[in-house]
Structure 1
Amino acid sequence: MDVEILARIQFAFTIAFHYIYPPLSIGIGLLMVIMEGLYLKTRKKEYEILTRFWLKIFAITFGIGVATGIIMEFEFGTNWAIYSKYVGDIFGSALAAEGLFAFGLESTFLGILLFGWNRVSPRVHFISTVGVFLGSMFSAVWIVVANSWQQTPAGYHIVGEGIHARAEVTDFWAMVFNPSSLDRIIHVWQGAFLAGAFMVLSVHAYYLRKGRYTDISKKAFKMALVVATVISFSQLISGHSSADGVAKNQPAKLAAMEGHYEESAPADLYLLGWVDNEQQEVTGLGIPGGLSFLVHQDFAAPIIGLNAFPKEDRPSQVNAVFQFYHIMIAIGMFLIGLTIYACFLWWKGKLFETKWLLWIFSFSVILPQIANQVGWFTAEMGRQPWIVYGHLRTSQGFSQEVSANQIVFSLVLFTIVYSLLFLLFLYSLNKKIKHGPYDEAQNALDII
């Protein structure tokens, strides 16, 4: 198999696996802040018990997230040396900021968060919880800033030519606030909040179905449901804003997301479908002119299509981009409907008597994870064939000295190690859930 394809598969695998954990850490961190904040306000013991319980799960998730993220930095140097040289000044600035603002904040408060119960005052411990949560959010900021610069470069100039070319920062804040960064940061945060909220909903729906820890689980479920409802709604706003930015800055990606080929014509908005790239047509159910309306508030407004770009300058896997994008949208709309219906039953006083709904919530934890993954697949595959949009092609970015056999060997090893880590995560998570919040509160802190 082609070395470039293998290098892309390896990086996609490692980053997709890693991205299971940071959104959970951020989302669970938000719920922990709410739980512990309610404990400080009310001094009700159940909120402290909930915070202690979810701290254990946060610690497992955070630890494995750190372990699985380290390998990607090595891949930049081994498999993507030319790309690393090209973006080194940009990424160096963003990652240095991450170390200063994110890791510094997390490392300052993490020890207090994990081991500070009964050693510091409740107020100081709450501050540490907030500090670790903010640190995880800032970490996401700088990673998304670096990735967004690849999508919409700004605040730089190019030094050198050919394989010696590299981008240098000329305006740090223009680089940080590049045209796509704010929309994407907000959307990533919201996806993380949903991942954490639905993890809490899933676990406590399971307890409620089994008749275990019912009083404390009802409180936790209601907290998580409020977060999930608000965030699932707000994602519509950030998603629309992000799509507007794609229409302006990456029109070929938008065209691939909706399978729109005509150079300049009104574009339909598909609810579902299948793209035939050879025939340049979509078979499915759509709203005529719907995409034109969302972008320009006019059903007859033209949208730039894929045929406006040379074949070598547009995504080749149009159907994959289309399907990933529509899976993300479908999950998002389902979560909105699910949370609204749950809130309606809450208002009617029937939420916890509706067993089939609790069953759905028990397994709903997987949906935000899928949406987060396919959202990133849409963004990255839609950017192709560019690794830095409009400047550096993916085919120009990988290391020339790495062989296909070396990548295959390392990919097999990563697969084995990551599979073991995932099994460890599931085992540890299952162990904590079976013990339950009261059992956890009675024991000394045991991270794993």
Structure 2
Amino acid sequence: MDVVMLSRLQFAVAVFFHFIFVPLTLGLSVILAWMETRYVRTGDEFWKKQAKFWGKLFLINFTLGVVTGITLEFQFGTNWSRYSEYVGDIFGSLLAIEATVAFFLESTFLAVWHFGWKRVGKKMHLASIYIVAFAGNLSALWIILANGFMQHPVGYTINEAMGRAELANFWQVVTNGYAWGMYAHTVLASWAVGGFFVLGVSAWHLLRKSNVEFFRASFKMSAVFTLVLVLLLGLSGDQQGKTVAQLQPAKLAALESHWETGRNVPFYLLAWPDEANEGNKVQAIGIPGLLSWIAYGSTDAEVKGLKDFAKEDRPPVVPTFLSFRGMIAMAGIFVLLAVGAFLQRKKDEPCPLLLKALVWNIPLPYIAIMLGWAVAEIGRQPWIVYGLMRTSDAVSPVPAENVAISLGGFIVVYSLLGLLDIYLLRKYAIKGPDAQEV
């Protein structure tokens, strides 16, 4: 395996493990703010107890997420130095804002929230969790703006003498429509992860008739929250798909394993790519014109096929296609579960089958969000900055064996951190609201 693939794998491993923690952090912060708002407005200690219980799980997840995130930015210097030299003027400014403003705010006010229950007033304490939620989601914005530049570069100029891209218009970078579409979809997905997590933990306790009143309330609240998010997620995904069709037609073709350019292009419910022969081994149950309509809003619209792009400019079709189909299949499951939870939310004893499904569903939103990330990143290949710089030109000039050794170290350490997160979340989720403070 060459240094390019090893470096990509190492970064993928680091992002994968870090991204296990990020969605739950974003989602739970919003739910905590909602719960504490009810406490402050009503004065009911019940909602304070809710906020403190789910806050314990939030703190565990946040702490381990910080640990896994620290090493990510260092990789731009160690493994991707040529990339950093080429676009560091643009990329670096966005990451610097994220670290010095958003993350600083989030960490500071999380300390106020955690230690301030008896030290600051109710309104100040409530404000602190709102700032945590705002800053966490703001942090995600700056990171996605950086990734949005990689997907659709804007606001730059090429310095031929220095051989690099330089920031020409900061406003264009921060108003990049592609990035904002990604941000909306990512944040909604992260909030949905939080919603399904609360539903799943609540369902576990309701099945065992443990703290029934407490978990019936959290189930009822998160059922409404999650259904709204799942529906909004579908709308944002559709809009982002249309943006991809306009700006990254090769990615769209790979998503659907679409090979021949044409109009009135059908959407096939069953397909299996055959890259070697530039076609599909399986292609069945096609709905005429649906792909054209989904991508461009008209059944008569032309959709470019993969054969229109040089082989060296095509994304890897199989992983892109399978990641996208897997994500869509899980989205269907999420809609069914969210609707079911919403309909059962007022019942004293929700359907046991639904409760069991919600417990088993806890890991699925994580998997779906990882598949979405794979679609975005693998589908952009062979470019690290779309149309400007190839991934193969971006790596550091280091021996492959060095990267292989560090990759092995990352896998071991991050696996241990991931297992620790699962262990601690499970331990304190099962103990319920009466457990001692973390």
- Taking structure 2 as the reference length, the TM-score comes to 0.96
1:187 aligns with 2:185: yes
Aligned counterpart, 1:436:
432
2:45 and 2:342 map into 1 onto residues whose CA distance is: 26
Q: What letter matches 1:268 in structure 2?
A: P
Q: Secondary structure of the equivalent of 1:237?
A: helix
1:293 and 1:390 map into 2 onto residues whose CA distance is: 26
CA positional deviation for 1:108: 3.1
Q: What letter matches 1:339 in structure 2?
A: A
CA positional deviation for 1:99: 2.7
1:173 and 1:210 map into 2 onto residues whose CA distance is: 54
Greater shift, 120-129 or 103-112, is seen at: 103-112
Q: What letter matches 1:240 in structure 2?
A: D
CA positional deviation for 1:96: 2.2
Q: What letter matches 2:266 in structure 1?
A: D
The one of 394, 397, 402 aligned to 2:394: 397
1:294 and 1:29 map into 2 onto residues whose CA distance is: 34
Q: Secondary structure of the equivalent of 1:438?
A: coil
2:414 and 2:138 map into 1 onto residues whose CA distance is: 26
2:202 and 2:256 map into 1 onto residues whose CA distance is: 38
Q: Which runs of 5+ in 1 are unaligned?
A: none
Aligned counterpart, 2:327:
328
Confirm or deny: 8 A CA contact 2:245 2:296 kept in the other structure: no
Q: What letter matches 1:411 in structure 2?
A: L
Q: What letter matches 2:428 in structure 1?
A: K
The one of 197, 200, 206 aligned to 1:199: 197
Confirm or deny: 8 A CA contact 1:264 1:308 kept in the other structure: no
Confirm or deny: 8 A CA contact 1:252 1:314 kept in the other structure: yes
Greater shift, 52-61 or 292-301, is seen at: 292-301
Q: What letter matches 2:328 in structure 1?
A: I
Q: Secondary structure of the equivalent of 2:325?
A: helix
Confirm or deny: 8 A CA contact 1:94 1:145 kept in the other structure: yes
The one of 403, 421, 425 aligned to 2:421: 425
The one of 266, 269, 274 aligned to 2:267: 269
Confirm or deny: 8 A CA contact 2:340 2:354 kept in the other structure: no
Confirm or deny: 8 A CA contact 2:327 2:371 kept in the other structure: yes
Q: CA RMSD in A?
A: 1.5
Aligned counterpart, 1:228:
226
Q: Secondary structure of the equivalent of 1:286?
A: strand
2:349 and 2:76 map into 1 onto residues whose CA distance is: 49
- Taking structure 1 as the reference length, the TM-score comes to 0.94
Aligned counterpart, 2:308:
308
1:117-176 deviation digits (Å, cap 9, x = unpaired): 111111111100001111100000000000010000000101136xx5221111101011
Aligned counterpart, 2:382:
385
2:176 and 2:167 map into 1 onto residues whose CA distance is: 12
1:258 and 1:128 map into 2 onto residues whose CA distance is: 45
Confirm or deny: 8 A CA contact 1:352 1:358 kept in the other structure: no
1:356 aligns with 2:337: no
CA positional deviation for 1:350: 4.3
Q: Which runs of 5+ in 2 are unaligned?
A: none
1:232 and 1:281 map into 2 onto residues whose CA distance is: 33
Q: What letter matches 1:370 in structure 2?
A: I
CA positional deviation for 1:395: 0.5
1:412 and 1:387 map into 2 onto residues whose CA distance is: 24
1:351 and 1:14 map into 2 onto residues whose CA distance is: 43
What is the percentage of aligned positions where both structures have the same residue?
41
1:200-257 deviation digits (Å, cap 9, x = unpaired): 1111110000110100101101111111100000011111110111011100000100
Aligned counterpart, 1:338:
337
1:179 and 1:357 map into 2 onto residues whose CA distance is: 39
1:44 and 1:271 map into 2 onto residues whose CA distance is: 51
Confirm or deny: 8 A CA contact 2:28 2:194 kept in the other structure: yes
Q: Secondary structure of the equivalent of 2:269?
A: strand
2:40 and 2:64 map into 1 onto residues whose CA distance is: 30
1:376 aligns with 2:373: yes
Confirm or deny: 8 A CA contact 1:265 1:305 kept in the other structure: no
Q: What letter matches 1:105 in structure 2?
A: L
Greater shift, 283-292 or 381-390, is seen at: 283-292
Q: Secondary structure of the equivalent of 1:267?
A: coil
Change (3 A) 1:82 1:410: same
| Structure 2 counterparts to residues 286-305 of structure 1, below 5 A | 286-305=286-305
1:162-196 deviation digits (Å, cap 9, x = unpaired): xx522111110101112301111100100110111
Q: Secondary structure of the equivalent of 2:286?
A: strand
What is the count of residue pairs matched by the alignment? 436
Confirm or deny: 8 A CA contact 1:101 1:138 kept in the other structure: no
Confirm or deny: 8 A CA contact 1:262 1:305 kept in the other structure: yes
Confirm or deny: 8 A CA contact 2:263 2:299 kept in the other structure: no
